[in-house]
Structure 1
């Protein structure tokens, strides 16, 4: 009898520890991690591979990433070819039990190339532009994908994840109304950006991207293309050159000196600059910087 009691106590202790254990989540990007933490709260721990200070197109596959993923229960991918390196990390982790969530499922993808994609086109994504996180409406789709993945991996905490998703949706809907009001003075604003990161953002807020500092995606600026951009800015009276923090300032500063346009750092992911430590704060910062540069007072 005493032996049975000891076994039962050990089993109950194991169950209690299991119930208290956090679900371990790894995300390709800080955006996905931010949303996952909002939904999962204290039921999950979240780590990520890359944040807005670095270019998510180019991530070195390091052994410590594989170790991180080997201990994880869930992996969150951006998809659409942006984080192609994620599969190398997952394979290297040898974690056959990990739940993989492609957060691009259900996204209305922009920029799908027609015909065959080849190297002469630059760094073009065959599946379409992968920067969908910059339309906050797509943030809801991302959140629903993440919540479904958490529930599948940890059904015992379904109610908590459903409540987290509802809280995220309510907060996002409130912020969407605020952001649309703040973006009102920016509608129709023409800007130049360094890279083709912004079609979803421009769709969301009515900003017009009229040119890129890169002659082709992923290709370094050339003298001839820079001259064309300078002429375009002068002719159209463009005020803003948007640049992700990890790109060189050299070409943007040359263009700014020649035209009087202003270079504005526009982080495209959480953590790209101070004040962007959450998904919601990212849009607060982007709209504030664009309004300041355009001379608007929303």
Structure 2
């Protein structure tokens, strides 16, 4: 007997395919006319993209302010966000080792990946290789470039240029936002530089190698580092050598981060009668640090206060 189910199968598939194609085309047109969908790897890039893009961008950060960029593992929602994005902003230099596979698995043909650290003068230290291996095409260097406000000038330029390329109709607005933000950034940098000039003792022990750029900008002295390589526990010998150095040289401040366990900084502080100051490498990591400028102020002022108190 002739089956009605079979009779209706052949026209439904073409109709369904046509309907899906129509809906996708409508969605694509809507995206072009609406805010640019942007995905960023870490919160500092979200803030910078929103500062320049204003109402013309819709930015999703894969990490929040409490997460560790070295140990992060992408979630299913990240795949969806990347699939819809026109731009993906990263720091680069092996900081986000998980990005390449995410882009390969979810990135569409129109997705542009922008490495915002390109052109920054890198600092090379003993923790250059954060995941234990160099990556082809990447310059070896400490990737925490955003902690120097001068590097943010370069990063902001890359972001602005990328937004203009995707949405040239708002070029003047993007350039105006960029210029206004650079003025605010310079004002904060001068304010903080003036504050740091008053410090009698500029030495501290770092939890991990996140702070060379900040230290260089504000003439601070990193006397030692607990974690020489991200994800690898320091040896007992290394910890003991740091304790002996702190006692001998009277180093009284240990800089840690809210994104990391406080166990080892607290151990060193207990053994040497030092003070642990907990900073944040990400906007939003500590209350009152929702923007990059808030985070920069918080870190520098908290560190200055700790160094003064220890003198």
Question: Shared fold (TM-score greater than 0.5)?
Answer: yes
CA–CA separation in structure 1 for the residues paired with 2:37 and 2:147: 26
Q: Is the 8 A contact 1:29 1:51 kept in 2?
A: yes
1:223 deviates by: 2.2
Which deviates the most, 129-138 or 92-101?
92-101
1:52 deviates by: 3.2
- Count residues with an aligned counterpart: 278
Q: Is the 8 A contact 1:51 1:271 kept in 2?
A: yes
1:122 deviates by: 7.2
Q: 1:189 aligned to 195, 202, 206, which one?
A: 202
Provide the aligned C-alpha RMSD in A. 2.4
In structure 2, do the counterparts of structure 1 residues 165 and 197 end up closer, same or farther at CA, with 3 Å as the change threshold? Answer: same
Q: Is the 8 A contact 1:195 1:212 kept in 2?
A: yes
Any unmatched runs of 5+ in structure 2? 1-26
Alignment partner, residue 56 of structure 2: 43
Q: 1:138-196 CA distances to partner (integer Å, 9 max, x unpaired)? A: 01111001001101111111111111111111111111111111221247611001111
Q: 2:269 aligned to 249, 256, 276, which one?
A: 256
Residues 1-298 of structure 1 aligned to structure 2 (within 5 Å): 20-111=33-124, 123=132, 127-186=140-199, 189-295=202-308
Q: Is the 8 A contact 1:186 1:206 kept in 2?
A: no
CA–CA separation in structure 2 for the residues paired with 1:91 and 1:134: 29
Asked which structure has the greater CA Rg, the reply is 2
Which deviates the most, 275-284 or 208-217?
208-217
Q: 1:190-235 CA distances to partner (integer Å, 9 max, x unpaired)? A: 1001111111111100010010112544321332221111111111
Q: Is the 8 A contact 1:240 1:294 kept in 2?
A: yes
What SS is found at the alignment partner of 2:269? helix
In structure 2, do the counterparts of structure 1 residues 94 and 177 end up closer, same or farther at CA, with 3 Å as the change threshold? Answer: closer
What SS is found at the alignment partner of 2:227? coil
